[in-house]
Structures are given as structure tokens and as C-alpha cells.
Structure 1
Amino acid sequence: MMAEEAAVVEEDVSPAQSPLVAVTFQRNVRRKEKYLEAEPRALGITQVGLSVYMIVCVGVFQAKGLSSLDTDIPVFISSLLVVIAGNVAVAAQNLHIPTLRACLGMQIVSCAASIVNIVCSVIKMEGYSYCWRYYFDSTHNFGEICHKIENVQSHFFAGGVLIQVTLLAISVTLAAYCCKVVNCCGPAPKMPVITVHTPPVQQ
């Protein structure tokens, strides 16, 4: 009688201690690989290439006296920051958490730099006129040539606005993926893990 009661108690306790299906929540060990889905190498190289292009163009316009130093200096500095951000984005492919945090910070800075460059490009496109000096020159008829130069500049800076909008979109994308990986906005998400226990085969 006592043996039967012990067997009943053992049968009642065993399923609770070792359920057939157990659900646990664990951190995703492959969470950092989410950053690679953003194609950071391609986007980082694009950031570097477009920013170097803008730096070279601003330097050429400044060397020829066709641009204002007041707007060239912010564009030059902001473009350098975007170049640095692009290099950090490529370096963050090693999925090292400090590097990913640095990438997040630099992409936020890059967003601000791109906005500054957009404003400067709009000012360059709409603001300054370089032809006033030729209206008072009675010995040379440079007015028509100057207006052609201004038209070229206007189209160039309009293209510059599109480039900066592209760089802004790239920076926002990389920052979003970095934010998912380093969990700056909340705790790390946990994934449900379902474990199925196979009952021992009774002989």
C-alpha cells in the first residue's frame, strides 16, 4: 500500500519538474549580426566617396574665386565629418560593441553635418551673385559668360543638395541599425526558446 502511494506521488511530481515542453526567454547571441544587414561596407564607402567629391568640388570653386568662404568652410568641415563616419561604419563590420557605439555616435554627427551641408548648398544655389563686378567694367563684355557660369553653379549646387539628402538618408539608415544592435533605446530583446523533452522509453 505504501509502495503504491509513493508511486502515485512520484508520477504527480515528475511532469512538473520535467515538463515535455519548456519555454524560456534568452538573449539572441546573433543580435550583432543585424548590423550587417544594412550593408555597412557599401554605405560607408558611398559616404566617403560622395563627401570627398564635395570637398574636391568646393576646393576647385574656392580656388577659382567662384564661391564664398563663409559657406565653404562649414561644407568642408561637415564633409570631413561624414568621411570619418563612413570609415567608422566600415570598421564596425567587426561587430565589436565599442566600435558599433562609435559608429552610432558618428552617424548621428553625420546626420547633423548633412543637414548643415544642405542648408549651405541651398544658400549657394539661391544667394550670392558673382556678376555684379562685371556690370561696371566698360572694357570687357563678360556679363554673358558670367551668367553662364552662374547657371552652371546653380545646377551644380542643386545636385549638391541631392547628394547631401542621399548622405542624410545613409546616415539615418546606419544609425538605425546601430541603435538596434547596441540597444541604446531599451534593454536587449529576448527570444523565446522552446525546448522539447523526450520522455524516456520504458522497457
Structure 2
Amino acid sequence: MEKLITYNEIHRLRKEGFSNSAIAKKLKISRNRVIEYGKMTPDEFYLFAISLQSRGKKLDPFREKILEWLKEHPDLSGAQVFDWLEEKLEFSSVSEGTVRNYVNELRESYHIPKVISEREFSAVPELPMGQQIQVDFGQTKVPKLDGTYIRLYFIGFILAHSRYKYVEWLDRPFRANDLIRMHENAFHYFEGMSKNTSV
């Protein structure tokens, strides 16, 4: 019933001229969910809703644990939940996309909107050589030869004094073991460790 209300609200707001992002914000659901429901006809949505009721999901045994994580950390992303399932519960039988969809459904069902953490920026004081490495993360979309795009994720290490840089890239979100390996690679590249590391 709740999904039906959401489906009807999405189509009502679309007719009133609201964008997918605006609808997602109003209904406190993901933009992907708005797009997914927005493409369905009433008959398609009915079959979809029936299929959800009649099938179990691989992540159902971890439902309570995932809910616990989301309630404690409202800014948790689907990618982070995917990592925690692998690292904390040693479960890796589903794709990251499946986890992301499951997380979005739990957020919608239990009214747990994703909290966007605002980053605070401040000037870093000039430090002597060897005192500090700054670490930052980012992502970008780059074109492929077939005209489609791929999202790439990167981590950058910068020596605070000399601004000497080291960067690594991945075609998926970082996991904890990636970050450990990349830190070790950066220290090897710089031929040593600084006294401090700031993120």
C-alpha cells in the first residue's frame, strides 16, 4: 500500500511539473526510485508490486542489521553498506546495485531519509617538510570509445609543504582494503611517511 501511495504521488507531482530531484526531496526517497516508478504504467507497477510481495530477497536475513546501521548513520550510502556486509558480516553474494536498491527500499519503508553531510573547509597552515600529507577523494565521469560514460573514483595524496602529489584511480567506489593498499602505495612512492595525515 505504501509503495502504491508513493507511485501515485510521483505521477501526480510529475504532472504538476516537478523535476525528479524535486520529487525525491519532497517524498524523501531516492531520485533513482522516482525515475524507476515514473517509467512504469499502472499495470506494470501492479505486477512489480505483486512480485515484491511473493519473493524473498537475499538480503532479508540482514534486514535488521542494515536498519540498525541506517538509523545510527543516516548519511550511510549503499556502497558503504555493501562494504560493511563484506567486511563485518562476510557476505558477498549480491552486487553493489542490489544492495543500493535494498537500502533505498528500507529508507522509503522506514522513513529514513539520507542525510547529506556538509563538508567544512578551512585553510591549512604552512608546515615544515615531512610534517603532513593531505588526503582527499573525488569522482568524475569520463567518455568511453563507444560514446557512453564511466564513473571513475580517485584518491589524492599531497605533501603539504612541497605540494608533491600521488593519485590512484578505480572504476568503483573505494573499500577499506583499497584505502589501506593505496596509503601503503603512496608512502612507498614518497619513500616514507609524514608525521601527520589529514583528510
Settle same-fold status: TM greater than 0.5. Answer: no
Q: Which has the higher strand share?
A: 2
Bigger relative contact order, structure 1 or 2 (CA pairs below 8 A, ≥6 apart): 1
